């Protein structure tokens, strides 16, 4: 059972970046006991199949560039997966402030085009800010960019 599980998890890690909590969840669904889980995790890490730094970097890259998430939402998602703050901080350095600001500007510009222009300026501004915050951007940046777009 253990060797078959290791092979299956190695194959899984080869296809897609996984974090420790993802692998533990998989092993629990497979019915693997706690002692075996520790041994399997150790082997996956030693052989380079499992790497938290690599996972966090890929997660940040995908969520910021593909899903247009902000730093706040990315940080929260990584913390919920048990990634340490040091690794999260190092991974978030990959996304520059300028890239994030440009992404936020594009996102809010598209959102503003879909809003009704009859609404009051303050109401449109509030909607844009709420939308940006829900996407994980910080409040100050959201307000600044929303004001630029609405005028």
What confidence score (pLDDT) does residue 120 get?
85
Alpha-helical regions (H) of 16-84? 20-30, 34-46, 52-65, 71-80
pLDDT tens digits, the chain, 151 residues: what are they? 578 888 999 999 999 999 999 999 999 999 888 888 999 999 999 999 999 999 999 999 999 999 999 999 999 999 999 999 999 999 999 889 999 999 999 999 999 998 877 778 889 999 999 999 999 999 999 999 999 998 7
Cα angle for residues 133, 134, 139 (degrees, 5° grid): 10
So where are the chain's domains?
2-46, 52-92, 97-150
Q: Residue 149: CB partners within 8 Å, gap ≥ 6?
A: 105, 108, 109, 112, 128
CATH code: domain 52-92 is 1.10.10
What confidence score (pLDDT) does residue 105 get?
96
For residues 47 and 57, give the distance between their C-alpha atoms in angstroms, rounded to a whole number. 19
pTM of the predicted protein model: 0.88
């Amino acid at each position: 059972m253990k060797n078959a599980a290791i092979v299956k998890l190695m194959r899984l890690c080869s296809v897609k970046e996984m974090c420790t909590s993802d692998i533990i969840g998989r092993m629990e669904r497979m019915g693997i006991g706690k002692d075996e889980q520790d041994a399997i995790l150790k082997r996956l890490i030693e052989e380079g199949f499992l790497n938290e730094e690599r996972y966090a970097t890929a997660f940040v890259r995908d969520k910021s560039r593909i899903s247009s998430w902000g730093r706040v939402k990315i940080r929260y998602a990584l913390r919920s997966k048990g990634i340490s703050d040091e690794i999260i901080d190092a991974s978030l350095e990959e996304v520059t402030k300028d890239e994030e600001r440009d992404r936020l500007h594009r996102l809010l510009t598209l959102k503003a085009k879909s809003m009704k222009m009859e609404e009051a300026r303050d109401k449109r501004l509030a909607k844009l800010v709420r939308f940006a915050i829900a996407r994980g951007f910080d409040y100050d940046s959201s307000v600044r960019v929303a004001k630029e777009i609405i005028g």
